[in-house]
Amino acid sequence: MRGYPRLPAAILALPAARSGGLIAAGVLAVSLLAGAIRVLPLLLASGVPLALVPVLARGVLGVSLETALFVAPPIAWALATARLVERGEARALLASGAGPARIVASTWPAALVVALASALAAASWGREASAPGRLVRDLLGEARAACAAAPAPAAVDVPLVGLAWVCLAGEEPRLVGAAPFVASPGAAAPVFAATELVVSDDLRGLAARGLTLALPDSGSDRHDGPRIHVAEATIRGVTPIGRASNLGVAGRALLLGASAVMMAALAAAAVLRLAIASRVRALAIGTAGPAAALLVFSSLERAPTTPLHYAAAPLAGLLAVAALAAAFARTRR
């Protein structure tokens, strides 16, 4: 390294970090708006109390923050490097002996902060994603409290699960709805009522207290068949309303944090090596990686997959950056 100029943080690291913060804030705002549009109809439905807003907002904020801090770094590093090329500073640095790898490596303090922020956001949402039953339990608990606090008789719907708490004077609140199984082929699902319902973390198990099942007649939609009363019951193998993530909290944080930094470094190096001054092309290179990685990541989350397969997500992002850089190189030639 002797003879190479020392690269101050103001050359690339600080501009990239500032751009990253602004881009992350913009992506976060757009993602929050999209999440609010999806959640708003649930909150505006009759029978849904405003007390459920914090629980639903927690999920929207978690996934929005994770997405913003994953997408922002590659875009920010690519745009900051393009400005370095546009001002001529990149050519001067390259002429003085500092290669693209050394210039990009000079941003390691900012990259470390970005990696930690991305990992923390991924860990925060990963706790919910790996155990979606926590969110459902919180929804059930807040809705029960709202029902108990309302003047009797009262009914409070629980969004996402299709159940409702019913509160009558002098009685415990009871959760009512369709049971998550069918008693016989061709018949409607039994209707149940319970004073308490606990959902497992993976949404595949239920534990109920004060359970009453109203079974339909065979081949009929009417629930005037036998009734079953049970003090406590446990049900396994329920078809879940959502899927738990295949990754644990630590694995998710490590994967997304490291992937964001690797794609940012490759995007910046590609812009430097090709001397790209166009912000449109730099934006395309910075966006290609996160877009490809998120596409692969979301497809892996839809079905049971081993954690090892998730290495395909950062690999897809890096290949997308490299492929687009190669296309721009051919265009120049």
pLDDT (tens digit, 9 = 90+) per residue, 153-174?
A: 888 888 888 888 999 888 889 9
Q: Is the domain of 185 the same as that of 224?
A: yes
pLDDT digits (tens, 9 = 90+) for 78-93: 999 999 998 888 788 8
- pLDDT grade for 180, boundaries at 50, 70 and 90: low
Task: Tell me which of 238 and 113 has the higher pLDDT.
Answer: 113
pLDDT at residue 255, as a whole number: 93
Q: How many domains does the chain have?
A: 2
pLDDT at residue 3, as a whole number: 44
Statement: residue 75 has pLDDT above 90: yes
Task: Kindly state the tokens that stand for 203.
Answer: 């949404």
- SS3 per-residue string spanning 136-190: HHHHHHHHHHHHHHCCCCEEEEECCCCEEEEECCCCCCEEEEECCCCCCCCCCCC
Is 135 within a domain?
A: no
Domain that holds residue 217: 152-236
pLDDT at residue 327, as a whole number: 93
pLDDT at residue 4, as a whole number: 45
Return the closest-CA partner of residue 48 out of 194, 147, 171, 179. 147
Q: Is the domain of 87 the same as that of 32?
A: yes
Task: Kindly state the tokens that stand for 232.
Answer: 């406590």
Return the closest-CA partner of residue 193 out of 168, 217, 219, 221. 168
Is 5 within a domain?
A: no
- pLDDT grade for 282, boundaries at 50, 70 and 90: very high
Cα separation, 195 vs 192, in Å, equals 10
Q: Is the domain of 298 the same as that of 223?
A: no
Cα separation, 49 vs 175, in Å, equals 15
- What is the per-residue DSSP string for 211-255? EEEEPPPTT-S---S-EEEEEEEEEESPPPSS---SS-HHHHHHH
Q: Is the domain of 218 the same as that of 84?
A: no
Statement: residue 302 has pLDDT above 90: no
The type of residue at 203 is: L
Q: Classify the phi-psi angles of 293: left when phi > 0, otherwise alpha if psi is within -120 to 50, otherwise beta.
A: alpha
Q: What percent of the chain has pLDDT over 90?
A: 33
Q: Is the domain of 29 the same as that of 113?
A: yes
Average pLDDT over residues 55-81: 91
Q: Is the domain of 190 the same as that of 294?
A: no
Q: Which of 185, 206, 236 is the last residue of a domain?
A: 236
Average pLDDT over residues 226-231: 81
Is 139 within a domain?
A: no
Statement: residue 333 has pLDDT above 50: yes
Task: Kindly state the tokens that stand for 332.
Answer: 């120049």
- Tell me the HSE value of 187 on the side-chain side, using a 13 A CA sphere: 21
Mean pLDDT of the chain: 85
Helix (H, G, I), strand (E, B) or coil at 105: helix
Is 144 within a domain?
A: no
Q: Is the domain of 259 the same as that of 122?
A: yes
Is 28 within a domain?
A: yes
Average pLDDT over residues 163-192: 77
Q: Which of 205, 236, 267 is the last residue of a domain?
A: 236
Statement: residue 292 has pLDDT above 90: yes
Statement: residue 6 has pLDDT above 60: no
Bridge partners of residue 167, in order along the sequence: 154
Is 304 within a domain?
A: yes
Cα separation, 255 vs 258, in Å, equals 6
The torsion angles phi and psi of 302, rounded to 5 degrees, stand at -80, -15
Q: What is the DSSP letter of 6?
A: P
Is 86 within a domain?
A: yes
Q: Which of 215, 236, 257 is the last residue of a domain?
A: 236
Average pLDDT over residues 137-156: 89
Cβ neighbours of residue 313 under 8 Å, at least 6 residues apart?
Answer: 255, 259, 293, 294, 296, 297, 300
Average pLDDT over residues 29-33: 92
Q: Is the domain of 202 the same as that of 262?
A: no
Q: Is the domain of 123 the same as that of 158?
A: no
- pLDDT grade for 207, boundaries at 50, 70 and 90: confident
Helix (H, G, I), strand (E, B) or coil at 319: helix
Task: Tell me which of 33 and 92 has the higher pLDDT.
Answer: 33
Return the closest-CA partner of residue 311 out of 258, 266, 271. 258
Burial pattern 47-67, b for ≥16 Cβ within 10 A else e, equals ebbeebeebbebbbbbbbbbb
Task: Tell me which of 224 and 26 has the higher pLDDT.
Answer: 26
pLDDT at residue 128, as a whole number: 80
Task: Tell me which of 309 and 238 has the higher pLDDT.
Answer: 309
Q: Is the domain of 25 the same as that of 119?
A: yes
pLDDT at residue 51, as a whole number: 79
Is 179 within a domain?
A: yes
Q: Is the domain of 59 the same as that of 204?
A: no
Cα separation, 61 vs 328, in Å, equals 36
pLDDT at residue 27, as a whole number: 94
Q: Is the domain of 42 the same as that of 105?
A: yes
